[in-house]
Amino acid sequence: MKMPTVNEDVNVNRDDSVSSSVKYRAHSTLQNASVGQRVQVQQIISTPAFEARLQSMGFVPGVPVNIVTKQGKSMIVEVLRSRLSLSAEAASAITVKVS
Amino acid sequence: MSNTIGSKIKIALAGNPNAGKTTIFNKLVGAHQHVGNYPGVTVEKVQGTCHHGSLEMLITDLPGTYSLNATSPEEAVSRDFLYHETPDMIVNIVDASNLERNLYLTYQLLETGVPMIIVLNLSDKAKEQGIEIDDAQLSKALNNSPIIRTVGNKGTGLEKILDAIVKMDLTPKETGFRLDYGPEYEQEMAEISRRLQSSKTVQLNSRISERWLLVNLLERDPLSPKWIPDPQIQELAASFAHQKEAQTGKNVSTIFSEIRYQTILELSKNVVKTTKTNAHSNTNKIDAILLHRFWGLPIFLVLMYVLFYVTFKLGDPPMGWIEDGFDMLKEWVGGFWPADSESFLKSLITDGIIGGVGGVIVFLPNIVLLFTGIAILEDSGYMARAACLLDNAMSKFGLRGKSFIPLIVGFGCNVPGIIATRTIPNRADRFLTILILPLFSCGARLPIYTLIIPAFFPEQWRAPILFLMYFTGVLVAAVLAKLLSVSLFKGQSEPFVIELPSYQVPTVFGVLITMWRRSWMYLKKVGTIILGVSIILWAMAVWPGVSDETQAQYDKKTEALAAAAEAEGIDDEVKAKAEEYSEKLAALEEEGLGDEELDTAKEKLDKEYLDARVNRALELAEEQTELDNKLAAASLEVSLMGRVGKIMEPIFRPCGFDWKMDSAIMAGLAAKEVVVAQMGILYSLGEVDEESDSLREKLAENYTPLQGLCLMLFCLLSAPCFACIATAKQEMGGWKWAIAQALSLTVLAWTITTFVYQVGSVVLQSKNPTEISIVIGIILLALIWAVFRIANKLQGKGGCGCGCNKCPGCSVRKKD
């Protein structure tokens, strides 16, 4: 599966029906980050339940994330001293910026 | 004030998963614990009592959670427990080597206002990793909660926890802990608080702080309307939250968690010192092997093979002992009645109750061993890796990595398989796994195959057909899972994320307790259900019994045989000799001698025992057995079970079944292996097992191989046994789901079996059946492939618009 690479500077209106007042800025996702990189969580774009789960596990805006390895489509990251494994889908829901 | 003598205080044990909470719980309460369920959900509720000095404590082990946001059943019950059952205090187990993440839950717990003791567990691991924590400062920041250091698996520091509990001040405080959420939110909360005072509809629980409920309300927690049922106040909060979301582009809950984490990161700067880098080096090294791109999966498969090999190999002898034990019990209990008694009560107790319950308990060794193995893998930290390895492959069928273990367990017995789905956090993923699990051919269906396959198919076909049965089950399960994941559960599945805990050596005590908890639940639930169903099925098979006329005929013939025996001078002594001969002959045949050896041994035996009178006695005994079997068959034919079979005959005729097969299938609802026994009774062969050649001959005489295949297929695909249906009900929280599952599986089984029988009948009459079957097989596989393609397309629709179209879990969050 090819992950689409999104240009960081382009404004993408994700879905008009969801919220007309909020324009999401498209950022590179955790999925696009490479091994050894240190990034910071920027935003989680998913259902409220999954957003809450990711937040409780440490994926909150501003928190640093360390990419340990990538294995096939999944990856292992370090967040606040804990090691987490994420599938491509989960990693794509987290936008990050390189710190 | 220290806690008064003689009072019993309620303590909630809370903490993150993998923080060592259960280890501490087990050490504190030892064997004084029991497992139940929280009302309405499947999350285990584990409680135990503990004495320290004169204080008695009731400790509840809350499920391990990362937060109190009610998005998973575990979190919801933890919160419900804190709100409803009002514990006197919380003992919060914190993983010292992972302080920051653990502090998130800690802050939420503090905000509830319940007094709390903080236990820094795994402090040895933290030290090893070069993490130093300033306890005094930490305590100050956390509302002066007492802090205790422990090493749970070594038991150090546990006394101190108990001392701290005794010393804890439980008098309600005026000012509780407050996290500052910024002026705008504080103002709003103050406003709502004012309104709450005047609202008559809301009565707040005294122990939970009002402020925490207000935080929940603003976060628009799904459970908060339950606690603040005033619609006006809810509306006020919602409109405020809306306004904030429009302003900031973020949910209030996101903003609040950001504030919590900012507080935590700020605090950790002052409180935590890290003297070493690369703390996870050992875990990294092991993961490099166990999660290796190429070797990870083979290593996993080898581990699974070992697990199942050990389970079934070591489980075999105790299974034999349990079987023997129940047989002895049956005989012993039966001994209270005269030998030829026809008492209904005797039959009920020996065949109905002892037989039925024994049939379930016999699986206990396998289940205990399997649960022990799984507990070891879980406690070592490997299970999280296994889920990780399999997620990619399983997601192609709409399942998750965490579904794998339950499905594999299902090959042994579906019941523990369904119970094992508890480890799947997302509801949709868990339900989907439970719904398809009965299609994994369990150990109790194997006797049906081993009876039928040799009856109809030549040697070289047997193994492939057996494999075909298992494969068909898995294939149908895969298709069904895919279809359900894009229809009923569309978009509800959750992307996979799991914590990989550090590896550790499991403790014997911990493994045994986990194993015991699960095995006990199996025994308790399944034991009671099976008991009831066994009695019902037994009653259906014996009631109302043969007509007086038939019985009279039987009695007359029996008497005639007895009279003949007497007339020919066959006394008790001869009968005893004949019986001994039969027993010895049977024993000989079981010894597994070579043909020649067997013949000589038989000859020797014949010489020793047989004379004219003994021969005649044997003949008469055989006639008597035949009579008995005929009576049993006649009784079954007129019984409720037989009648139901006959009523169902038209329904199942398209599948190629007659009433005998129908009633065998019905009996299979009690336990699948009963199908074999039932066929034996119906063909007047008395008690048979799957190795019975006489039954195979009868089957081959009466049915075609196609009918045999269809019977196996139906037993594989249709509703599972009652124990399994009841477990599914328990785990999915309602009969609605369990009955829908059983019915749909039966309809599915009927459809597939009818298709196979009807098409098969036509194909077999054609000139070249083999080629046509192959063509049909290819067409079916192509159809399945097409179904998957279409399902993938369906899944792609309605995504978030980012263009990747791969996103059931990545849909844009709903902003109402």
How much is the pLDDT for B12?
Answer: 93
How much is the pLDDT for B465?
Answer: 92
How much is the pLDDT for B341?
Answer: 67
Q: Is B798 on the interface with A (CB under 8 A)?
A: no
Model ipTM over 0.90 = no
What does the pLDDT average to over B509-537? 75
Please determine, for residue B362, whether its predicted confidence score (pLDDT) is greater than 70. yes
Interface contact flag, A57 B495, Cβ < 8 Å: no
Q: Are B738 and B725 in contact (CB under 8 A)?
A: yes
Q: Are B364 and B519 in contact (CB under 8 A)?
A: yes
Please determine, for residue B169, whether its predicted confidence score (pLDDT) is greater than 90. no
* Residue B688: pLDDT band with limits 50, 70, 90: low
User: Domains of chain A by range and CATH?
Assistant: 30-98 (2.30.30.90)
Closest CA to A28 of A77, A96, A99: A96
Those residues whose C-beta lies under 8 Å from the C-beta of residue B647, and which sit 6 or more positions away, are: none
Please determine, for residue B2, whether its predicted confidence score (pLDDT) is greater than 90. no
Closest CA to B369 of B437, B407, B316, B430: B316
What does the pLDDT average to over B607-630? 85
How much is the pLDDT for A27?
Answer: 57
The minimum CA-CA distance between B499 and chain A, rounded to whole Å, is 4
Closest CA to B232 of B204, B183, B187, B191: B191
Q: Within a 10 A sphere around the Cβ of B123, how many other Cβ atoms?
A: 23
d(CA B327, CA B350): 9
The minimum CA-CA distance between A76 and chain B, rounded to whole Å, is 9
Q: Are B634 and B550 in contact (CB under 8 A)?
A: yes
Cis check: omega of the bond before B495, within 30 degrees of 0: no
Domain B8-167, architecture per CATH: 3-Layer(aba) Sandwich (3.40)
Q: What angle do CA B330, B332, B334 make, to 5 degrees?
A: 65
Please determine, for residue B790, whether its predicted confidence score (pLDDT) is greater than 60. yes
How much is the pLDDT for B714?
Answer: 96
B502: left (phi over 0), alpha (psi -120 to 50) or beta: beta
Q: Within a 10 A sphere around the Cβ of B214, how many other Cβ atoms?
A: 23
Pair of tokens at residue B153: 């698996």
- What is the Cα gyration radius of chain A? 13
Nearest to B800 among A14, A48, A69 (CB): A14
* Residue B175: pLDDT band with limits 50, 70, 90: low
Q: Is B249 on the interface with A (CB under 8 A)?
A: yes
Q: Which of B812, B814, B815, B816 should be substituted to probe chain A, the one whose Cβ sees the most A Cβ atoms within 10 Å?
A: B812
Mean pLDDT (chain B, rounded): 84
Pair of tokens at residue B21: 């909470």
Q: Is B20 on the interface with A (CB under 8 A)?
A: no
Interface contact flag, A47 B291, Cβ < 8 Å: no
How much is the pLDDT for B807?
Answer: 47
- Give the residue from chain B lying closest to A55, CA to CA: B257
Nearest to B815 among A18, A54, A71 (CB): A18
What does the pLDDT average to over A55-73? 88
Exposed / middle / buried, residue B643 (Cβ in 10 Å: 0-12, 13-18, 19+): middle
The highest-confidence range among B38-42, B257-261, B697-701, B712-716, by mean pLDDT, is B712-716
Please determine, for residue B655, whether its predicted confidence score (pLDDT) is greater than 60. yes
Interface contact flag, B261 A62, Cβ < 8 Å: yes
Domain residue ranges of chain B, discontinuous segments joined by +: 8-167, 183-274, 296-540, 548-637
Please determine, for residue A84, whether its predicted confidence score (pLDDT) is greater than 50. yes
Please determine, for residue B249, whether its predicted confidence score (pLDDT) is greater than 60. yes
CB-CB neighbors (< 8 A) of A3 in chain B: 804
Nearest to A56 among B69, B283, B801 (CB): B69
Q: What is the dihedral of CA B111, B112, B116, B118, to 10 degrees?
A: -50
Sheet holding A38-44, edge to edge: A94-98, A38-44, A64-71, A74-79, A82-86, B497-499
* Residue B815: pLDDT band with limits 50, 70, 90: very low
Closest CA to B377 of B432, B308, B474, B433: B308
The CATH number of B183-274 is 1.10.287
What's the DSSP call for residue B152?
Answer: G
d(CA A43, CA A60): 7
Does B71 or B175 have the greater pLDDT score?
B71
Q: Are B546 and B415 in contact (CB under 8 A)?
A: no
Q: Which of A57, A75, A77 should be substituted to probe chain B, the one whose Cβ sees the most B Cβ atoms within 10 Å?
A: A57
Tell me the CB-side half-sphere exposure of residue B795, using CA atoms within 13 A.
Answer: 25
* Residue B11: pLDDT band with limits 50, 70, 90: very high
* Residue B792: pLDDT band with limits 50, 70, 90: confident
How much is the pLDDT for B199?
Answer: 73
d(CA B700, CA B689): 16
> B 117-146 residues with CB below 8 A of A?
131
The minimum CA-CA distance between B169 and chain A, rounded to whole Å, is 30
d(CA B648, CA B657): 10
d(CA B512, CA B493): 33
Reported as a single tens digit per residue, the pLDDT across B260-285 is 999 999 999 999 988 877 666 788 88
* Residue B632: pLDDT band with limits 50, 70, 90: confident
What does the pLDDT average to over A68-97? 89
Q: Are B257 and A55 in contact (CB under 8 A)?
A: yes
Interface contact flag, B99 A81, Cβ < 8 Å: yes
Interface contact flag, B253 A44, Cβ < 8 Å: no
Reported as a single tens digit per residue, the pLDDT across B272-318 is 988 877 666 788 889 889 988 888 889 998 998 898 788 878 888 89
CB-CB neighbors (< 8 A) of B386 in chain A: none
> B 280-319 residues with CB below 8 A of A?
280, 283-284, 287-288, 291, 293, 296
Residue A52 forms beta bridges with which residues?
none
How much is the pLDDT for B285?
Answer: 87
d(CA B24, CA B615): 71
Lowest-pLDDT choice from B85-89, B132-136, B347-351: B347-351
* Residue B760: pLDDT band with limits 50, 70, 90: very high
